Structures are given as C-alpha cells and as structure tokens.
Amino acid sequence: MSDKAFVLGCSAIGAGLAMIAGIGPGIGEGYAVGKTIESIARQPEAQGDCTRTMFIGVAMAESTGIYSFVVALILMFANPFIKRLG
Amino acid sequence: MDDIGAGPKVVFEIGSIVITETVVMGWLIVAVVTLLCLWLTRGLKKVPDSKRQVVAEMFVKFVNDMVKKNMGEKLMGYSPYIGALLISAVLGALISMVGLRSMTADINVTAAWALLTFVLITFHKIKANGFVGYLKSFAQPVAFILPLNLISELATPASMAFRLFGNVAGGMVITGLLYGALGTASEALHLHFAFGQWAFSALQVGIPAVLSIYFDLFSGCIQAYIFSMLTMVNVGAAAEE
C-alpha cells in the first residue's frame, strides 16, 4: 500500500469519526425543543419569546456539530496531511 | 465528483487580485437588493394603496421590532445594518436555488461578517467601560482566568463564521453527494437513459429538489436569522456592560 493511499484512507475514517460529534447537538437540540414546547403549552401567549430564545439556544448547541463537520470537510476536501507527504 | 467540495471558481483576475464566483455573486446580490429597494419604495404614500409598500413596511417593521427587542431603544441605529445583513445572508443562501453558487458557502464572506460583529462588540465594550476598563475586564473575576477570557472573546466571531459557513456549505456538499449517489443507483437499476448526447437518470429527478428545499430554503433562512440575531444579542450585551 502506498503512503498516499494510507493517508487518504485514514483521513476518510477520521472524517467519519469526527461526525460522531453529531450525537451531542442532536440530543441537546431535541431536549431544548421539547422544553420549549412544554413551556408554550403551559403559557401559549409567550410563544414568540420562547421560540426566539429557543432558536438562539439551538444555534449555540449546534456549534459543536458544525465544528466537527468543518473538520470532516477539511479532511475530505482540503486534506492537510497529503501535503506533508511531499 | 471532484467538484463537490471544491472552493469557489476563479472567474477572472485583475493583476494579482483574484475575482472568484463569490465576489460576482456578491455584486449580483448588491444589484438585486438595490433594484428591490428602488422598486419597493417608489411612490410611498401615508396610507398604502399598493401591495409592494405593505411588503416593504412589513420587512422594515420586522427588523425594527427585532432590533428594539434585542438591543434596546438606544441602539436602534443598528437596524439598517441588521436589515442589510439579514437580506444579504438570506439572498446569499437562496441564490443556490437558481443553480448558482451560494455566496455564504465561502468562509471569507462569513468570516468578514463575523469580524464586523467582533469590531462592533469591542467598540461598544470600550465605549461602555473605557479602554482601561475593557482591558481589565479580561482579568475578571480572578487574574489567572485571563487566557480563558481571551479564548472566549475570540470564539464568538469564529463560531459565528463557522456556523453560517458550515450550514450552507454542508447543505451544498450533501446535496452534491446525494445527486452523485442517485446517479450511480439509477445506473445500477438500469434507470439511466441516454439518447445520443443527452442523458438523464430517473432517480435524479425530483428527489434532490426536496433536499434543496430543506437545505437552501429552510436552513438558509434560519441560519441568516440566527446570524443577525447573534450579532444583535452580542453587540447589545456588550453595550449594556
């Protein structure tokens, strides 16, 4: 196996492993949305405020998932390790 | 396959300045927004009798209310900036629906916008606390927490830039990968038809459009809203301190 093939294969596995981080935001966002629905059901007149705050919170929770996604993208399409092979 | 994760193409070069697709899309969006503004604000009346004035008033009122609620009456001057940010982010993502490359699928665009937010945050922090107070605020509550404060200060614009870029570029990559996979699948199922020069795969019709509605329309609008919302919340919080 050539060096390049090894690095490319490992990078593909790394990209897949990086996306495991998607679990976290998934759980977090589901919890946040569930709690928002609970509070809207309890106080329907606060729907606007609840939804707005939820969107910001969900965006925050999503950050970690997006970071891992950017790492996966870099590994797949702009691999820094291939250049190191020289 | 090779062009799925590729960056924006270079359209032309002026000397050493490289003009990429993103810049051209930016010009296009500026032109569209300018024409839209001219068209929507033509012949304004006190009591609107045209639909387009109602639409213009709805958008302006939406942005004004949002700014008032999140930044307070004192910072209402930011409402044109937020409105411009919102409309360019929405159009920058939606432009991919007509087959062009999204403007916000380029980290340079989102990083520039996030840098603007960072400058505004720093400006308002210095204005509120004075320059010495601003520097001191990094060593609060105890001195050894300084590196953590510095990192969290820089993490705000970085996370904003990566969030918008990651969502739009991710949608583009996933749509591209699915399109390629559907092509392979329809060839395996003998659903690939070729008539001389012209060929199409049966599975590639319709299915990517559903994904495009989610990634381009829904996700693009939500992320644009979140980007401007985070700008408002961060700048508003900096001004209050």
- Quick: pLDDT tens for B159-201: 889 888 888 888 888 888 888 888 888 878 777 777 766 777 7
Please name the residues between 103 and 162 in chain B that touch chain A, using a CB distance below 8 Å.
159, 162
A69–B4 CB contact, under 8 Å: no
Say how far residue B75 (Cα) sits from the centre of its chain: 22
Spatial CA neighbour of B215 closest among B168, B160, B162, B165:
B168
In the predicted structure, residue B241 carries a pLDDT above the cut 70: no
More confident residue, B15 or B121: B121
Closest residue of chain B to A58, computed from CA coordinates: B226
In the predicted structure, residue B104 carries a pLDDT above the cut 80: yes
Min distance B236 CA to chain A CA atoms (Å): 14
B167–A56 CB contact, under 8 Å: no
Residues on chain A touching B162 (C-beta within 8 angstroms): 63, 66-67, 70
The partner residues of B17 in beta bridges, in order of sequence, read: B14
Cα–Cα distance list, B160 to A59, A63, B3, B113, B163 (Å) = 10, 8, 26, 9, 5
- Flag whether the pTM goes above 0.90: no
In the predicted structure, residue B92 carries a pLDDT above the cut 80: yes
B219 touches chain A (CB under 8 A): no
More confident residue, B86 or B188: B86
- For residues B208, B213, B216, B217, the Cα torsion angle rounded to the nearest 10 degrees is 170
Minimal Cβ distance to A66: which of B4, B167, B233: B167
ω into B8 cis (within 30 of 0): no
* CA dist., res. A58 & res. A62, Å (int): 6
Confidence of residue B5 (pLDDT cuts 50, 70, 90): low
Min distance B215 CA to chain A CA atoms (Å): 14
Name, in order, each residue with C-beta under 8 angstroms of A55's C-beta and a sequence gap of 6 or more.
B222, B225, B226, B229
Locate B59 and state its tokens: 């958008």
User: B49-63 b/e with 16+ CB inside 10 Å = b?
Assistant: eeeebeebeeeeeeb
Spatial CA neighbour of A27 closest among A72, A70, A62, A67:
A62
Report pLDDT for B3. 65
Residue holding tokens 């937010």?
B117
Mean pLDDT is lowest, of A67-76, B3-12, B170-179, for B3-12
Confidence of residue B82 (pLDDT cuts 50, 70, 90): very high
* CA dist., res. B123 & res. B239, Å (int): 9
Min distance A32 CA to chain B CA atoms (Å): 16
B180 touches chain A (CB under 8 A): no
In the predicted structure, residue A45 carries a pLDDT above the cut 70: yes
Residues on chain B touching A76 (C-beta within 8 angstroms): 5
Q: Is B72 helix (H, G, I), strand (E, B) or coil?
A: coil
A69–B163 CB contact, under 8 Å: no
Confidence of residue B1 (pLDDT cuts 50, 70, 90): very low
Say how far residue A72 (Cα) sits from the centre of its chain: 10
User: How confident is the model over B21-44, as a mean pLDDT?
Assistant: 88
B163–A76 CB contact, under 8 Å: no
Closest residue of chain A to B157, computed from CA coordinates: A63
In this prediction, does ipTM exceed 0.85? no
More confident residue, B39 or A60: B39
**Domain ranges (residues) in chain B:** 10-240
Closest residue of chain A to B3, computed from CA coordinates: A77
User: How confident is the model over B58-82, as a mean pLDDT?
Assistant: 88
Report pLDDT for A36. 94
User: A16-36 b/e with 16+ CB inside 10 Å = b?
Assistant: eebeebbeebeebbeebeeeb
* CA dist., res. A79 & res. A69, Å (int): 14
User: How confident is the model over B52-80, as a mean pLDDT?
Assistant: 88
Q: Domains in chain A, start-ordered, CATH in brackets?
A: 8-81 (1.20.20.10)
More confident residue, B101 or B30: B30
In the predicted structure, residue A83 carries a pLDDT above the cut 70: yes
Q: Please give, one letter per residue, the 3-state secondary structure of A26-82.
A: HHHHHHHHHHHHHHHHHCHHHHHHHHHHHHHHHHHHHHHHHHHHHHHHHHHHCCHHH
